[in-house]
Each structure stands twice: as structure tokens, then as C-alpha cells.
Amino acid sequence: MDISQTTTPQGGASKPASQPVGQQVYVQPRGYFQRLGMLDWLYGIGLFAAMLFALNRFGGYMDYYEKAILVLAAPVFTALGWGWKPVRWLIPLIAVLALCGVASYGGSLDAANQKFVLKYMLSSQSAILWMSALFVFSTAFYWLGLLARSPFGGSVGSKLCWAAVVLGFTGMMVRWYESYLIGADVGHIPVSNLYEVFILFSMITALFYLYYEQRYRTRALGPFVLLVISAAVGFLLWYTVARDAAEIQPLVPALQSWWMKIHVPANFIGYGTFALAAAVGSAYLLKSYGILADRLPALEVLDDVMYKSISVGFAFFTVATILGALWAAEAWGGYWSWDPKETWALIVWLNYAAWLHMRLVSGLRGRPAAWWALIGLVVTTFAFLGVNMFLSGLHSYGKL
């Protein structure tokens, strides 16, 4: 539609001419980059500047694949921050806290027991203990908010969840540095054992939940998702005390590969979103049976979150499985060996492939989809943890 413009007598901004009553005025939508504000651009420029600094300062210690990951991280996290605004403060805050922790060491691990800020806050073990406590408190406040119909409870639960994410990622970054303080041959990204990946699982599940919390403007799913995270935290604390799991160990030969840096995170994005889908599925079932029905989001919203979570998880789990096969070919000389871990990973993949197939082809909805998501969590948990506990094979280095 052609819209004529008039100019005010004072030379001000032009205004649309009068339109007939009921006639819609077409407004040209702004482009993607036009919708970005000053903070968006500052955030993006800051990430690229940090990437260039790291490349210049530490590039000599990196292989070509590590340089590629570093270079690609800047545009990926820039786009993520532009699409989901909380990331704009989350990444800088984690970076500042982690750098403060790293600087406090002064090149010696002994500082962890000597300096207050490390001993009680920013050493990896301290930060992860704070993360664990904050997740438990977050769970309690979310449930208080749901059962008491208290917006305050949900608001506090959400803030505590964000604080747990900040300290959890800070602890992982500092732990990465601590591993290099032990020795250059010991240093590695902290995703190599059950202790480290349970932290990663908690972080990923929480982040995806917080995204959906903002996207759908409801905190009613927090009690269910945080229960899953608190269960993971409970295992993490038991594992830490019973097996001294927080101690940093050198990598076994099979894990001394750059594939680990991309295979494990992709895998746990899958695990985390599958767990999120199961938690939402449990909320769906409660509402469908009339339990807490007036306090939970509409069934359509729960169904949509469940579907999107499984879709994202399946995509990343597929990528992780392919990366795992490539890693196996390098480490053991074959892409697939029907090792128990590989076999159960395939079972998990087939389970969610079938769920999505039934959803897209047969219109799977309602209680059957929710029950299937819950059963999927049982299958995924066995593939993630049960195989390590009861079976052995090429992946026996992850055994409990």
C-alpha cells in the first residue's frame, strides 16, 4: 500500500496522511540489524576483541582446530546474545569472575587454601559447592511459589537459578586453569569424568529452562525442572564425598583428543534437553489429570516446550553421535564396535527419533507423548549413568 506523507508546519517529523476508518496502515518491518541496540553492538564488539586478544596472546599454544573453535565462538555467542538478551551480561560476568579467580592464584595451587576469595568463593570446588546449594534453594523457592501461588517465590527461585549458573560456569572455567597449574600434561577442558559432566549437565539443563521461562513468561515449570537438576546435584555431592571426585586427574590416553572438546558438550546438550522434556512431560501429566491444573501453563504450552526440547536435544545428540564415531575411529581404529555405551547411545537416539517421527507423521500429542518423554528419561539415564555402573567396555574409564 502506498502511504503518502505530510510534513508538519514547524518542519517536524512527517506523519501518515489520514486513512479511512478501518483501513490498516502498512509499516515496513525493520531489518535484523536495525533492531539491534547499542548494548548489542558493544557486546558483539567486546566478544570479537576478546577473541582477537586470546588468539594473539595464546595462539602459539593452540592447534589449528582450537584456533578454529575460538574464532567461531565469537560470532556464535554474539548471535546467541543478540537472540537471547540475558547472555549479554551472563558471559561477561562469568568471564570477570573466572579471571578474578585465575588471577588470585598467582600461578600456585597453594593459594586455594590461603586466600579468602579462593577458599570460600572462586576456587573451582568452592564455586561448584555454591552452585549446588543455590540450585537446591532455587528448587525450594520454585515449589514455594507454585504451591503458595506466590510470585515472590518464583522470582527468588529464578534469581537463585541464574546465580547457580553463573557460579557453576565460573567454577568450570577456574577448574580448567587449575588443571594446567598441576602440569601442562594434565591440563584439559573439564568435561572428562562424571564429576565434571554432571556439572555440565546441570548448567545446560538450567540454561535451557531459563530460556523457556522467559520465552513463555511462566515460572510454573521451574519446580519440575529444578527437581531434576537437584537430583543431579545430589549425585554430584555424593560422588564428590564418596569417591573424592573433585580431585583433578590426568586424562587417560583415549581422552587425550580434541574430539572430546566438541563431542561431550554436544552430547550433554542432548541429555539436558531430554531431561527438560521429561520434567515438562511430568507437569503435563499432572495438569491433564487435574492436579495443580489451575497453576500450570496451558497444555498446549507444555506440549510445545516438550516438543521443542526434544527437537533441539535430538539434533545435538545426532551430531554428538557422529562426532563420537569419528573419535572412535581415531582412538580405536573403527567407527562402531557395539560397545555398551555406543549401543545404548543408539537406543537413546532411536527412542527420540521414533518420538519425533510419531509427532510429525501421526500427530503424537497429549498423555502418550508425555509418558514417552518420561520413559525416555529412564532410557537416557541408563545410557548416561547405568552403563558406567553395571556394564564395561571401551568406555570403562567412565566407570563409577
Residues 123, 179: Cα–Cα separation, whole Å: 12
What pLDDT does residue 25 have? 60
Residues 102, 110: Cα–Cα separation, whole Å: 13
What pLDDT does residue 346 have? 94
pLDDT single digits (tens) 1-49: 444 444 444 444 444 445 555 555 655 566 667 788 899 999 999 999 9
| Residues in a beta bridge with 111 | none
Residues 165, 167: Cα–Cα separation, whole Å: 6
What pLDDT does residue 147 have? 96
What pLDDT does residue 144 have? 97
**Residue 64 phi, psi dihedral angles, 5° rounding:** -65, -35
Alpha carbon 17 to its chain centroid, in Å, reads: 50
Buried b (16+ CB within 10 A) or exposed e, 239-262: bbeeeebbebeebeebbeeebbeb
Helical ranges in 183-221 per DSSP H:
194-216
Task: Give the position of cell 572412535.
Answer: 328
Radius of gyration of the chain (CA): 24
What pLDDT does residue 16 have? 47
Task: Confirm if 59 and 67 have CB atoms less than 8 A apart.
Answer: yes
Residues 99, 117: Cα–Cα separation, whole Å: 12
**Greatest extent of the chain over all pairs of C-alpha atoms, in Å:** 83
First and final CA of the chain: distance in angstroms? 68
What pLDDT does residue 340 have? 85
What pLDDT does residue 387 have? 80
Would you state the torsion angle of the CA atoms of residues 39, 44, 49, 52, taken in this order, to the nearest 10 degrees? Answer: 170
Helical ranges in the chain per DSSP H:
38-58, 64-83, 87-105, 116-117, 124-147, 151-182, 194-216, 222-243, 259-288, 299-332, 340-362, 366-381, 387-390
Task: Give the position of cell 537472540.
Answer: 83
User: In this structure, which amino acid lies at residue 269?
Assistant: I
The helix-helix angle for 194-216 and 124-147 (nearest 10°) equals 40
Task: Give the position of cell 558483539.
Answer: 44
Vertex 398 angle, CA 397 and 400, to 5°: 115
pTM higher than 0.85: yes
What pLDDT does residue 28 have? 59
Ranges of the chain whose pLDDT falls below 50: 1-17
User: In this structure, which amino acid lies at residue 12?
Assistant: G
Residues 127, 171: Cα–Cα separation, whole Å: 5
User: In this structure, which amino acid lies at residue 203?
Assistant: M
What pLDDT does residue 3 have? 42
Residues 14, 79: Cα–Cα separation, whole Å: 34
The helix-helix angle for 299-332 and 194-216 (nearest 10°) equals 150
Residues 260, 396: Cα–Cα separation, whole Å: 16
Task: Confirm if 220 and 283 have CB atoms less than 8 A apart.
Answer: yes
3-state secondary structure of 309: helix
Vertex 117 angle, CA 115 and 120, to 5°: 95
Tally of CB atoms within 10 A around 142: 27
pLDDT single digits (tens) 89-146: 999 999 999 999 999 999 889 898 889 999 999 999 999 999 999 999 999 999 999 9
